Copies of this chain bind each other. A is one copy, B any other.
Amino acid sequence: MDILELRPVAEELFSKVRELSHDGVGVTRASYGEGESATASFLRDFALKHGLEVSADRAANLLFRLPDTCGEGQAVWCGSHLDSVPQGGNYDGLAGVIAGLFCLLAQKQSGTASRIPLQVIGFRGEESAWFGKAYMGSGALFGLLDADDLALEQRDSGESLASCMHNAGAEIEAISRQEALFDPLRVRAFLELHIEQGPVMVARKLPLAVVSGIRGNVRHNSIQCLGAAGHSGAVPRWLRRDAMFAVADLIMRLDEHWSVLLERGTDLVVTTGMVSTNTAEHAVSRIPSQVRFSFEVRSKSIDTLEAFYQLMRAECTAISRERQVRFEFDRRLLSKPATMDGQLCDLLSKVCTRQGTTFEVIASGAGHDASLFANAGIPSGMLFIRNQNGSHNPEEAMEMDDFMLGVQVLHETIRELS
């Protein structure tokens, strides 16, 4: 069979999953929450109906295989994540899981399994929006979740990550002992198809891209700036300790450094995604004494990450002195940058070329589960699908033609691996 014939099935699957996780604005598939579980359950039923084997791994991620494959030897892993940000888009993560499923379906329907058996994985808990930490599902597999991570609280319910993972079926005791829950030596390669989540491929008219590496990041989910409250009319400028002006000052200093570093060719993005005066006490006529904000810097270079982080801390110190405020930092979180495997990049490129698809090799600005596999020494490769309107927002879009081109490349690549 030609895998492109699955296109109507793709349309139906994406549409049904969108429906079941629609929140009125975008899709909401909370990590270890309702939308994610509903998506997992829907895909499980679909796969079983088509004769695939479905199970869950010890971290409650979803696994798909051809019946009676993946015994004692090596397997090719392929997949992406099931969850989304709040009010997010439908293709971020889901596209990679469905692409993997289609590779299995194509093998099944043509009766020719790949030389190395394929295991498709639908990760839970990739998005950091829910617990302030990314790669929870894949991280658990590698024994990377520590006690602090497991104590993180769900942004709405306040329930701990440990409890949420446990309820989803994960072996929380093994995870909290930081055991590796699988044998990395049995993974021949990890492949992930994902939407780009950025505007570069649209601008360059590239339906597909081979990913050379993945930006890492350093984050604080919640930094607090503390000043002194006061009547907005009665405290002159020199006596103010305005936490909001201090945070605005910090953001503008970071913006200036960012701009200068970009001119020097440094790979860098800086974001303060969540900023708020204290809603319990803020008022139009009150000098704000408390501002909470998140900080995130991303780069392909670990050195850039560390240097910019130190710069941020130095500016906080300077602003503390100048504006008579202080900054309190929660735990620093680091996701290391990752390099994709050269041979896999070459193979993906070769298949793209053979297929006649325009593509380029580009770096990923966003983080992906694949980075954990790459940093664990497992040969990893990623294929980007062009997508419209960015991501992490309800307007995120993807052309089905582009997706099917990607599925085809993934399918061929898996078949050629030995």
Q: Which of A's residues lie within 8 Å of B, judged by CB?
A: 25, 85-87, 127-129, 132, 134, 196-200, 215, 217, 219, 221, 228-237, 239, 242, 244-245, 247-249, 251-252, 255, 258-259, 262, 269, 271-277, 279-289, 291, 294, 296, 298, 364-367, 390-393
- Which of A221, A286, A364, A365 gathers the greatest number of chain B CB atoms within 10 Å? A286
CB within 8 A of A262: which of B134, B217, B237, B365? B237
CB within 8 A of A233: which of B221, B231, B236, B298? B298
| Complex copy number for this chain | 2
Chain B hits for A196, CB < 8 A: 234
Chain B hits for A262, CB < 8 A: 237
Contact A232 B298 (CB under 8 A): yes
CB within 8 A of A283: which of B128, B233, B298? B128
Contact A234 B365 (CB under 8 A): yes
In angstroms, Cα B36 to Cα A1, docked, is 77
In angstroms, how far is the closest chain B Cβ from the Cβ of A126? 11
Chain B hits for A367, CB < 8 A: 233
In angstroms, how far is the closest chain B Cβ from the Cβ of A228? 7
Tell me whether A215 and B230 are in contact in the complex, defined as CB-CB below 8 angstroms, given that A245-B255, A273-B277 are known contacts.
Answer: no
Contact A244 B283 (CB under 8 A): no
- Which of A198, A219, A277, A285 gathers the greatest number of chain B CB atoms within 10 Å? A285
CB within 8 A of A274: which of B215, B239, B282? B282
Chain A contact residues: helix, strand, loop or mixed: loop
- Which of A129, A196, A230, A234 gathers the greatest number of chain B CB atoms within 10 Å? A234
- Which of A134, A228, A294 gathers the greatest number of chain B CB atoms within 10 Å? A294
Chain B hits for A248, CB < 8 A: 247-249, 251-252, 255, 272
Mind listing 28 A-B residue pairs with CB under 8 Å?
Answer: A86-B283, A129-B283, A129-B285, A129-B286, A199-B236, A199-B239, A215-B233, A219-B284, A228-B393, A229-B392, A230-B393, A231-B390, A231-B392, A232-B269, A232-B296, A232-B392, A234-B391, A236-B269, A236-B365, A237-B269, A271-B284, A271-B286, A271-B287, A273-B284, A274-B283, A275-B276, A284-B294, A289-B393
In angstroms, how far is the closest chain B Cβ from the Cβ of A87? 5
In angstroms, Cα B265 to Cα A237, docked, is 13
Tell me whether A230 and B276 are in contact in the complex, defined as CB-CB below 8 angstroms, given that A248-B247, A296-B284 are known contacts.
Answer: no
In angstroms, how far is the closest chain B Cβ from the Cβ of A166? 24
In angstroms, Cα B271 to Cα A237, docked, is 10
Chain B hits for A25, CB < 8 A: 281
In angstroms, Cα B229 to Cα A129, docked, is 14
Contact B231 A285 (CB under 8 A): no
CB within 8 A of A244: which of B85, B197, B251? B251
Chain B hits for A273, CB < 8 A: 232, 244, 277, 282-288
Tell me whether A285 and B235 are in contact in the complex, defined as CB-CB below 8 angstroms, given that A242-B271, A391-B230, A393-B229 are known contacts.
Answer: no
Tell me whether A197 and B237 are in contact in the complex, defined as CB-CB below 8 angstroms, given that A273-B282, A283-B129, A286-B273 are known contacts.
Answer: no
Tell me whether A277 and B280 are in contact in the complex, defined as CB-CB below 8 angstroms, given that A245-B251, A286-B392, A365-B234 are known contacts.
Answer: no
Chain B hits for A277, CB < 8 A: 273-276
Chain B hits for A271, CB < 8 A: 232, 242, 284-287
In angstroms, Cα B233 to Cα A217, docked, is 9
In angstroms, Cα B390 to Cα A242, docked, is 13
In angstroms, Cα B257 to Cα A245, docked, is 13
A228 closest partner in B (C-beta): B390
In angstroms, Cα B141 to Cα A61, docked, is 66
In angstroms, Cα B129 to Cα A275, docked, is 20
Contact A390 B234 (CB under 8 A): yes
Contact B274 A87 (CB under 8 A): no
In angstroms, Cα B86 to Cα A280, docked, is 8
